[in-house]
Chain A
């Protein structure tokens, strides 16, 4: 199987840690549209497995500080800063902050296609979350 982090120097890899699948998918798709390779993780445990896997070349860790797991998102960010000095660590806590951080990355990134306003991402996340709440019985 191919290693998705080995796609050439033109496609830096962002490791996204976000437990909410709707938020994670929107942020990940946004970053992919900008040209990044994106690895999606739902917990600190998953993200740690990726960080410790051999041969991974992660450029940026975009982590929800409140993500569950052992370590949690904040703990994972601390570990990455201490043990993976080559990785830029960005902590988020809300979809708005995650979208803004993704927008900043897109401004500086490969720009495979034109990035759109992060507020568009936030608005779409809110609509999808509202639809999910309506579809889920109380």
Chain B
């Protein structure tokens, strides 16, 4: 491997998503679809993992999170934590449970099952509302 370039430090203009979803097959599909759409995407299986990822310093522009999650907090609590500690990170919540939208009315919400096209539109619209970096 010697002599090979190290492009990791190169800055990227891509928007960075963090998908938080405990159903691996759902997470895999939405993560790959958003990568195909041009985003840089990280995947977390719980809110705790998502916060650990953010705490490591890797940049995140938008968190796309299920509400029903295992661990110390659900998606609603994650959204509230991020609003308090990382207001620069946009959040979209999703759930298949009826009435879940009302749990966090101020956060963009997409009900399950959603189409990839619908999710991509909501992600783009939400990111467009994000203040530009720097």
Which A residues fall within an 8 A CB radius of B? 1-4, 21-22, 24-25, 28, 32-33, 37, 39-43, 46, 49-50, 53, 103, 107, 113-118, 120-121, 124, 128-129, 131-132, 135-136
Distance between Cα atoms of A124 and B57 in the complex (Å):
11
Write out the residue numbers on chain A whose beta carbons fall within 8 Å of the beta carbon of B1.
Answer: 103, 107, 115-118
Distance between Cα atoms of A84 and B31 in the complex (Å):
25
| Contact, CB under 8 Å: B45 / A131 | no
Contact of B25 among A33, A37, A49, A117 (CB under 8 A): A49
Write out the residue numbers on chain B whose beta carbons fall within 8 Å of the beta carbon of A113.
Answer: 7
Taking the closest CB of chain A, its distance from the CB of B36, in whole angstroms, is 8
Write out the residue numbers on chain A whose beta carbons fall within 8 Å of the beta carbon of B92.
Answer: none
Q: List 27 A-B contacts (CB under 8 A).
A: A1-B33, A4-B32, A22-B52, A25-B42, A25-B43, A33-B7, A40-B28, A42-B49, A46-B24, A46-B45, A49-B24, A49-B25, A50-B24, A113-B7, A115-B1, A116-B5, A117-B2, A117-B4, A117-B6, A118-B1, A128-B56, A129-B56, A131-B55, A131-B56, A132-B56, A132-B57, A135-B56
Contact of A21 among B7, B42, B116 (CB under 8 A): B42
**Top 10 closest pairs, chain A to chain B, by CB:** A4-B32, A135-B55, A128-B56, A46-B24, A116-B6, A42-B45, A132-B56, A131-B57, A21-B49, A1-B29
* Interface SS majority for chain B: helix
Taking the closest CB of chain B, its distance from the CB of A76, in whole angstroms, is 13
In the complex, the chain B residue whose C-beta lies closest to that of A28 is B43
Taking the closest CB of chain A, its distance from the CB of B107, in whole angstroms, is 22
Additional pairs, 15, CB under 8 Å, beyond known A116-B4, A117-B1: A1-B33, A1-B116, A2-B36, A21-B53, A22-B56, A39-B28, A50-B24, A53-B25, A107-B1, A114-B7, A116-B7, A117-B6, A128-B56, A135-B56, A136-B55
Write out the residue numbers on chain A whose beta carbons fall within 8 Å of the beta carbon of B2.
Answer: 117
